[in-house]
């Protein structure tokens, strides 16, 4: 495999995406907004409205009581890690799904694939380039968003409590699981690209993968799952298996005609 | 002349539509024209040769290799499809650079080749413009440059002049003739027979996914005009005695002389005779559209 060709495909895809403000601006601006707004909301609840809101949110657990004792720091740490963390973990899925759908189904929709496939590029070079063009920005975006929301959270926590609350070990584990979540989304796009007519369909199907991730904060709030380091190690191990299966079947079932 | 492209009993279907129904053909160096009406299977044939489609049955060999499976076969081939296949959000130069890199060409060489090709087709001034901002004709010119960036031995073109003005189309024709003279194989699909007959070429006539005729363009008129009726219209009335002596004379009516000919040379003989007799020939009309009949009939 000639990696320079895979790299050229990746660069081409990224240049295309980032040359259109209408595509990249919402993809960046919306998560950045939430990365600032949600920690602010958490801070407000932690400091100014502890007993009312917290006891309503955590009516079935003892977090409300712990928050009342610790003056909100416990709640802020808990909410920032176990609720906001999983919410921002949808980033690597959404970003990867949006870019991968544009990359695979977009070639089909814009009819650029004929020229691309008439070159001596191999299937593995093509797939590597396309996967990288979704994987790299999804990962950069996720790390960036976690950095922003972590920094905002820490700045607010330092102001209120005099110490930083992030990173926690589970929070780091969430960041470490991001690449594996991205790969699932990309693998699904590769799998469905043969069966969809355009970008929107591919995005809709692959975005369904965020559903299980969005369940995570509720399992924590309801006390069903304990989001510990070992929990995330198990999740990552499971994702590696799913990634391998999805990517394997995606590559195996990939036919050039799929994007023609 | 060795065959660079060889297709044997090539079959390709899409769901219930048979696009190619068992075509066998070979194309050597020089100009090769694939002509046929809409939906005849020209584009599918070119895509099979270009390695985009895997045939349902039969085989394609390009330079002795299977272009679908053997990626190296496509290194010396290029395909210009019937759409521009350019990345709209990229500039012209970025498009050419990307495709050049996929052929393993260095950036400085890509720049050099792009400049030469764009200048030849009069599109160099657009090199930094995004493809989306270009007119259809300019996009077509850039797409032609893209298809030639790898300096291919086999050039597959699907309606390459469809959106070009007459001057630009002629530039493309001359460029392709130049390639053909260099010993490359140019395979040119068109539905316009008048464009096809412009070249000294091997002509493959395709109808309903099958090869219905294979002929050299220089033999086309002889073949298709055999036994045809031709009307020669004149500006002045021709004396009946002179008209009757016209080679291949059939009948005359006022300023129209009807001939039965077996080839274009017969028409030349008749016209030369009439001009020699002081007649002014204003038009030659085929009483039936013999050549176009090859496609539609």
CATH code for position B253 = 3.30.70.1560
Q: What number is the ipTM of this complex? A: 0.80
Reading the block at residue B87, the tokens are: 């990345």
Of B171, B189, B222, which residue sits at a domain end? B222
Distance CA B170, CA B166 (A): 6
Q: Nearest residue on chain A to B145, judged by CA atoms?
A: A115
Does the distance separating the beta carbons of A115 and B81 come in below 8 Å? yes
Angle at B88 between CA A15 and CA A129, to 5 degrees: 40
Within 8 A of B52 by CB-CB distance, chain A residues are 114, 117-118, 256-257, 260
Range list of H helices, B121-216: 136-148, 166-181, 193-196
Task: Kindly state whether residues B130 and B27 are assigned to the same domain.
Answer: yes
Cβ contacts below 8 Å, chain A against chain B, sum to 85
B72 Cβ under 8 Å from any chain A Cβ: yes
Return the higher-pLDDT residue of A198 and B97. Answer: B97
Query: Of the segments B108-117, B163-172, B193-202, which one has the largest average pLDDT value?
Result: B108-117
List the domain range (segments joined by +) for residue B52: 3-222
B54 Cβ under 8 Å from any chain A Cβ: yes
Write down the pLDDT at residue A107.
Answer: 85
Range B262-272 average pLDDT: 89
Is the predicted pLDDT of residue A55 greater than 70, yes or no? no
Does the distance separating the beta carbons of A110 and B103 come in below 8 Å? no
Distance CA B288, CA B236 (A): 24
Is the predicted pLDDT of residue A257 greater than 80, yes or no? no
Task: Kindly state whether residues B92 and B141 are assigned to the same domain.
Answer: yes
The model's confidence at residue A105, banded by pLDDT at 50, 70 and 90, is confident
Write down the pLDDT at residue A195.
Answer: 73
Of B192, B222, B252, which residue sits at a domain end? B222
CATH classification at residue B60: 3.40.50.300
Strand pairing report for B228-234 and B281-286 = antiparallel
Task: Kindly state whether residues B128 and B233 are assigned to the same domain.
Answer: no
Considering only CA atoms, which of B60, B292, B89 is closest in space to residue B156? Answer: B60
Considering only CA atoms, which of A193, A10, A192 is closest in space to residue A109? Answer: A193
Range A215-230 average pLDDT: 82
Strand pairing report for B154-158 and B77-80 = parallel
Task: Kindly state whether residues B167 and B265 are assigned to the same domain.
Answer: no
Within 8 A of A106 by CB-CB distance, chain B residues are none
Write down the pLDDT at residue B1.
Answer: 47
pLDDT in tens, A133-181: 999 999 999 999 999 999 999 999 998 888 898 899 999 999 999 999 9
Does the distance separating the beta carbons of B101 and A5 come in below 8 Å? yes
Please state, for a pLDDT cut of 70, what percent of chain B lies above it.
96
List the domain range (segments joined by +) for residue A76: 3-259
Is the predicted pLDDT of residue A131 greater than 50, yes or no? yes
Chain mean pLDDT for chain B: 90
Q: Domains in chain B: how many in total?
A: 2
Is the predicted pLDDT of residue A237 greater than 80, yes or no? yes
Q: Domains in chain A: how many in total?
A: 1
pTM attached to this predicted model: 0.80
Identify which of B72, B83, B89 has the shortest CB distance to residue A111.
Answer: B83
Is the predicted pLDDT of residue B224 greater than 80, yes or no? no
Write down the pLDDT at residue A222.
Answer: 76
pLDDT in tens, B13-33: 998 899 999 999 999 999 999
Write down the pLDDT at residue B53.
Answer: 92
Return the higher-pLDDT residue of B90 and A52. Answer: B90
């Amino acid at each position: 495999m000639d990696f320079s060709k895979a790299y050229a495909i990746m660069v081409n895809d990224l240049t295309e995406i980032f040359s259109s403000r209408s595509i990249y601006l919402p993809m960046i601006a919306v998560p950045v907004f939430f990365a600032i707004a949600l920690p602010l909301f958490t801070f407000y609840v932690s400091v100014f409205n502890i007993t009312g809101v917290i006891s309503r949110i955590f009516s079935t657990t003892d977090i409300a009581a712990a928050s009342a004792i610790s003056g909100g720091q416990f709640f802020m740490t808990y909410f920032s890690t176990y609720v906001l963390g999983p919410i921002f973990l949808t980033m690597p899925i959404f970003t990867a799904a949006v870019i991968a759908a544009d990359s695979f189904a977009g070639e089909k929709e814009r009819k650029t694939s004929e020229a691309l496939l008439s070159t001596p590029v191999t299937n593995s070079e093509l797939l590597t380039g396309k996967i990288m063009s979704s994987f790299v920005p999804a990962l950069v975006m996720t790390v960036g968003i976690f950095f922003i929301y972590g920094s905002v959270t820490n700045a607010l926590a330092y102001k209120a409590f005099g110490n930083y609350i992030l990173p926690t070990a589970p929070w780091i584990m969430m960041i470490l699981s991001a690449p594996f979540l991205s790969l699932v989304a990309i693998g699904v796009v590769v799998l469905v690209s043969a069966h969809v007519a355009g970008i929107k369909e591919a995005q809709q199907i692959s975005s369904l993968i965020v559903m299980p991730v969005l369940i995570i904060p509720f399992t924590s709030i309801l006390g069903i799952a304990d989001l510990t380091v070992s929990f995330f190690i198990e999740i990552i191990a499971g994702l590696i298996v799913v990634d391998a299966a999805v990517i394997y079947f995606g590559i195996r079932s990939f036919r050039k005609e799929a994007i023609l | 002349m060795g065959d660079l492209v060889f297709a044997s009993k090539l079959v390709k279907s899409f769901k219930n539509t048979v696009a190619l129904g068992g075509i066998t053909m070979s194309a050597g160096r020089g100009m090769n024209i694939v002509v046929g009406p809409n939906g005849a299977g020209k584009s599918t044939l070119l895509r099979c040769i270009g390695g985009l489609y895997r045939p349902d049955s039969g085989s394609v060999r390009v330079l002795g290799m299977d272009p679908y499976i053997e990626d190296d076969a496509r290194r010396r081939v290029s395909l210009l499809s019937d759409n521009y296949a350019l990345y709209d959000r990229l500039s012209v130069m970025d498009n050419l650079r990307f495709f050049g890199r996929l052929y393993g060409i260095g950036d400085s060489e890509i720049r050099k080749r792009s400049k030469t090709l764009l200048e030849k087709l009069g599109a160099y001034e657009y090199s930094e413009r995004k493809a989306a901002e270009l007119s259809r004709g300019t996009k077509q010119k850039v797409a032609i440059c893209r298809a030639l960036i790898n300096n291919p031995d086999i050039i597959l073109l699907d309606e390459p002049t469809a959106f070009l003005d007459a001057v630009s189309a002629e530039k493309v024709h001359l460029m392709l003739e130049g390639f053909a003279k260099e010993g490359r194989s140019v395979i040119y699909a068109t539905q316009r027979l008048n464009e096809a007959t412009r070249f000294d070429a091997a002509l493959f006539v395709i109808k309903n996914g099958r090869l219905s005729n294979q002929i050299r363009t220089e033999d086309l008129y002889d073949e298709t005009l055999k036994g045809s009726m031709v009307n020669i219209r004149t500006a002045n009335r021709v004396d009946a005695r002179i008209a009757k002596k016209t080679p291949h004379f059939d009948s005359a009516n006022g300023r129209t002389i009807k001939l039965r000919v077996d080839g274009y040379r017969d028409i030349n003989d008749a016209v030369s005779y009439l001009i020699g007799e002081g007649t002014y020939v204003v038009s030659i009309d085929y009483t039936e559209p013999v050549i176009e009949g090859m496609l539609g009939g």
